[in-house]
């Protein structure tokens, strides 16, 4: 049982997964300058770059990415700030074991700039979601969610930082459930085969 993590940038969720002691076989980035690559390498984790700029089409890039992932034969593939839309072919190939963390309480605020949009909408509760990846962006079965308050005077950065603290707690827990094969999907709804599993958390810490 092992996991490959896909990143594009700073890699703080990747780091949280490493800190949790989960069995990470490799970290792969689509950007050679992703800061997370250095963090992983410093911990003795194998790293690889599959640069999307080197491929003419999404299909070709995804085929190269799938080949690099397959070399490590992981049980689970975790997207952690991986900023590429994956083709239905790639998603189908990894169905049920491809997982993502998104910085909103889905189905609200799919896509980008979630914290800015949450503030603009005036929601009072915001958060993050770990979900299985399907062909439709940010729409797969929800494994777990963490909620935080939106406070008067919040900036997008302040809100992002509050959500990120919860991401770092939530994502390793959810990835562990997948690795331990505790994730069951029934009619698109995720249940965890563990009486002690909480698929939600609430933090009221500012
Ligand atoms: C996180 O907010 C995650 O939810 C989103 O992209 C960001 C990645 O941050 N998908 P990091 O690279 O894990 O620090």
pTM value is 0.97
The 10s digit of each residue's pLDDT in 24-66 is 999 999 999 999 999 999 999 999 999 999 999 999 999 999 9
What confidence category does residue 21 fall into, taking pLDDT thresholds of 50, 70 and 90?
A: very high
Which helix or strand (DSSP H or E) is residue 185 part of? Answer: strand 183-186
Domain with CATH 3.40.50.170 in the chain: 1-94, 101-206
The 10s digit of each residue's pLDDT in 113-170 is 999 999 999 999 999 999 999 999 999 999 999 999 999 999 999 999 999 999 999 9
Query: Which of 203, 180, 206 has its CA nearest to residue 193?
Result: 180
Residues with beta carbon inside 6 Å of ligand 1?
Answer: 7, 9-13, 80-81, 101-103, 128, 164, 167
> What is the dihedral sign for C-alpha 203, 107, 186, 178?
negative
The rounded Å distance from CA 168 to ligand 1 centre is 9
The rounded Å distance from CA 174 to ligand 1 centre is 15
**Does domain 1-94 sit in CATH 3.40.640.10?**
no
Question: What is the overall mean pLDDT for the chain?
Answer: 97
CATH class of 101-206: alpha beta
19: DSSP letter: H
What are the tokens at 71?
Answer: 């070399």
């Amino acid at each position: 049982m092992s996991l490959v993590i896909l990143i594009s940038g700073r890699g703080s969720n990747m780091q949280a997964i490493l800190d949790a002691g989960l069995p990470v076989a490799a970290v792969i980035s689509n950007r050679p300058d992703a800061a997370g690559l250095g963090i992983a390498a410093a911990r003795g984790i194998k790293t690889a770059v599959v640069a999307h700029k080197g491929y003419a089409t999404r299909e070709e890039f995804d085929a190269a990415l799938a080949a690099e992932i397959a070399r490590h034969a992981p049980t689970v593939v975790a997207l952690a700030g991986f900023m590429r839309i994956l083709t239905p072919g790639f998603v189908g190939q990894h169905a049920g074991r491809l997982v993502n963390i998104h910085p909103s309480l889905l189905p609200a605020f799919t896509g980008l700039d979630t914290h800015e949009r949450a503030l603009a909408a005036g929601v009072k509760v915001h958060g993050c979601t770990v979900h299985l990846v399907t062909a439709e962006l940010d729409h797969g079965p929800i494994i777990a969610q963490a909620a935080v308050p939106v406070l008067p005077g919040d900036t997008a950065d302040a809100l992002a930082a509050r959500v990120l603290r919860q991401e770092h707690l939530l994502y390793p827990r959810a990835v562990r459930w997948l690795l331990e094969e505790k994730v069951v999907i029934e009619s698109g709804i995720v249940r965890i085969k563990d009486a002690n599993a909480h698929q939600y958390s609430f933090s009221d810490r500012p």
